[in-house]
């Protein structure tokens, strides 16, 4: 090594150390209090609540005209928005953008008392208005008859910013079905916006509603994945978890896993991996091999036509899916110990799934497909968020740069920022191993690690912690516990 390159390496290490993000030795310290500039902190807000972001409700952030807009679940499970202007290097927000009917007062302190399904997804429309969809966990009986599924809780709610590019004020647009959960926006190049969601609790169809006028109106829901009781055992209903994103050109990808939903003796079992693609020119669907599909897809039909892999008795969970320049899909699923597995379509078959890294458990994240052979995954796990890269089409994976780490906390990621980049790839919430409340610091992470914010702007809890101490939530009675468990069995849910 030349003297100059040694100097450069030392300088690079020092810069990393100053930034407080995964320096030599990497794990260690709490990034929030280590490494930020004077008067600054590494998180952009401290009022994330429960599980504020997820890869499932997505996008949770979009970069539009050099501003990254971020939506997350805050106090009372309400949707909040922050914005970062990359040119001016200034933050704004958080602003509360609506009311989640599932929120509780006072703030819950037991994770089991937070529903989390109503966390928001965000999209900026063709005119620059910002839309959030949030608050749904299938909708209650009081909202009317759900023809596509079984009732749950909450109310899927759509709000829009009153002005383009301005997060300061919001209004409700009452134009989508209230029976939604896991709401996801997909925006096409021509400006059409598709809203995908599960139309009720577990035993419900997955549907979409399409808007061709910047979300001012939506077509009625169309079913994609069908729920139904099994012929041989009416106690078990076929159910699904699905993830949607824009594919190549005017197409949308759907990747999903199967959930055998038991009415009696409910479990969270999920199996297998599936894929299909929508041609938005005529809203027709095809499998990876190009065969036209009949919708809605049943379990039997999916096994025959859209299977990526059969997980056998090993449980799986949804991940994310993106296409390469040829339009071929690359898919992440979680399996076994929650470790992410990768597969891609080879043109006539799916590559056997490969474990990206066995270094941690309970991983989650997203990926960038640079070319058919070059893929970067950004994964949480083991108290850090890190890139794992392949240059051989996913057969082998190498450890890449770490964007944040801690010995005292784990990080829960959202899906990649829509149109994000080195200035901000992903939003994560920080979950400390020891804390007596459910508020979370939130971070926007780019190539330089967390995007800093002045401490005064990032501190948004006010008196909430003091108030919680003074007025703690009432202890649960046995009766309330039993009722909750019954509800849980009926509608089948904890978080997810």
* Active-site residue identified among 58, 64, 72, 117: 117
Strand 449-450 and strand 453-454: the pairing is unpaired
Phi and psi torsions of 490, nearest 5°: -70, -55
Strand 271-279 and strand 222-225: the pairing is unpaired
Among 23, 103, 329, 492, binds Zn ion (CB under 5 A): 492
Q: Which is nearer to Zn ion, 202 or 330 (CB)?
A: 202
Specify the stretch interacting with Zn ion by CB under 5 A; choose among 200-208, 274-282, 283-291, 383-391.
200-208
Residues 207-236 as x/- pattern, contact with Zn ion by CB under 5 A: ------------------------------
Least Å distance between CB 312 and Zn ion? 20
323: which 2 tokens? 């296409």
Which parts of 328-374 are beta strand (E)? 329-335, 339-344, 354-355, 364-369
463: which 2 tokens? 């008196």
Q: Which is nearer to Zn ion, 408 or 490 (CB)?
A: 490
Specify the stretch interacting with Zn ion by CB under 5 A; choose among 281-289, 346-354, 443-451, 486-494.
486-494
CB 313: neighbour CB atoms within 10 A?
A: 6
Least Å distance between CB 488 and Zn ion? 10
Least Å distance between CB 237 and Zn ion? 7
Specify the stretch interacting with Zn ion by CB under 5 A; choose among 170-178, 258-266, 270-278, 403-411.
258-266
Q: Which residue is nearest to Zn ion (CB)?
A: 261
Q: Where does 218-360 have alpha helices with state H?
A: 299-305
- Can 117 be counted among the known catalytic residues? yes
* Active-site residue identified among 72, 84, 182, 241: 182
DSSP state of 250: S
Q: Which is nearer to Zn ion, 236 or 354 (CB)?
A: 236
Specify the stretch interacting with Zn ion by CB under 5 A; choose among 350-358, 384-392, 445-453, 484-492.
484-492
Q: Which is nearer to Zn ion, 104 or 486 (CB)?
A: 486
- Residues 382-387: contacts with CB under 8 Å, at least 24 apart: 382/27, 383/27, 383/407, 383/408, 383/409, 383/410, 383/411, 384/22, 384/26, 384/27, 384/411, 385/411, 385/413, 385/426, 385/428, 385/445, 386/22
Is 261 a binding residue for Zn ion by CB under 5 A? The answer is: yes
Q: Whose structure tokens read 């450890």?
A: 399
Q: Which is nearer to Zn ion, 154 or 446 (CB)?
A: 154
N residues, the chain:
496
Least Å distance between CB 239 and Zn ion? 5
Q: Whose structure tokens read 């944040």?
A: 404
Footprint on this chain of Zn ion (rule: CB under 5 A): 202, 261, 492
Q: Which residues are catalytic?
A: 117, 182
């Amino acid at each position: 090594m030349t003297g100059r390159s040694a100097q450069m390496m030392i300088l690079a290490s020092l810069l990393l150390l100053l930034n407080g993000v995964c320096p030599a030795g990497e794990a260690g310290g709490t990034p929030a209090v280590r490494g930020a500039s004077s008067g600054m902190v590494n998180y952009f807000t401290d009022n994330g609540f429960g599980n504020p972001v997820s890869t499932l409700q997505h996008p949770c952030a979009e970069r539009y005209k050099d501003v990254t807009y971020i939506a997350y679940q805050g106090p009372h499970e309400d949707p909040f928005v922050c914005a970062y202007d990359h040119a001016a290097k200034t933050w704004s927000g958080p602003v509360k953008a609506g009311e989640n009917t599932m929120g509780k007062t006072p703030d819950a302190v037991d994770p089991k008392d937070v529903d989390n399904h109503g966390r928001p997804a965000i999209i900026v429309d063709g005119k620059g208005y910002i839309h959030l969809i949030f608050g749904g966990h299938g909708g209650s009986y009081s909202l009317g008859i759900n023809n596509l599924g079984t009732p749950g809780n909450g109310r899927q709610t759509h709000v829009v910013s009153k002005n383009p590019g301005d997060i300061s004020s919001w209004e409700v647009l009452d134009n989508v079905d209230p029976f939604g959960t896991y709401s996801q926006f997909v925006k096409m190049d021509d400006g059409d916006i598709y809203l995908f969601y599960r139309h009720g609790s577990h035993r419900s169809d997955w549907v979409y509603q399409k808007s061709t006028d910047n979300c001012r109106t939506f077509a009625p829901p169309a079913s994609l994945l069908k729920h139904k009781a099994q012929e041989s055992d009416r106690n078990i209903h076929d159910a699904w978890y699905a993830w949607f994103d824009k594919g190549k050109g005017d197409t949308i990808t759907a990747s999903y896993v199967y959930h055998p939903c038991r009415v009696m003796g409910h479990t969270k079992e999920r199996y297998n991996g599936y894929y299909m693609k929508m041609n938005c020119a005529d809203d027709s669907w095809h499998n990876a091999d190009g065969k036209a599909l009949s919708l809605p897809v049943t379990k039997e039909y999916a096994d025959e036509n859209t299977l990526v892999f059969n997980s056998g008795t090993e449980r799986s969970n949804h991940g994310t899916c993106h296409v390469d320049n040829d339009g071929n899909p690359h898919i992440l699923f979680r399996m076994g110990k929650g470790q992410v597995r990768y597969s891609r379509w080879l043109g006539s078959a799916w590559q056997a799934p490969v474990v990206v890294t066995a270094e941690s458990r309970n991983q989650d994240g997203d990926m960038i497909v640079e070319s058919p052979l070059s893929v970067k995954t950004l994964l949480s796990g083991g108290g850090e968020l890190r890139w794992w890269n392949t240059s051989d089409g996913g057969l082998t994976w190498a450890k890449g740069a770490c964007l944040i780490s801690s010995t005292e906390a784990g990080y829960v990621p959202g899906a990649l920022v829509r149109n994000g980049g080195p200035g901000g790839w992903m939003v994560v919430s920080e979950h400390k191993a020891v804390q007596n409340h459910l508020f979370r610091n939130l971070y926007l992470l780019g190539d330089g690690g967390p995007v800093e914010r002045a401490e005064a702007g990032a501190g948004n809890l006010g008196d909430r912690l003091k108030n919680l101490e003074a007025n703690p939530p009432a202890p649960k009675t046995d009766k309330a516990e039993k009722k909750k468990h019954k509800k849980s069995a009926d509608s089948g849910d904890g978080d997810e």
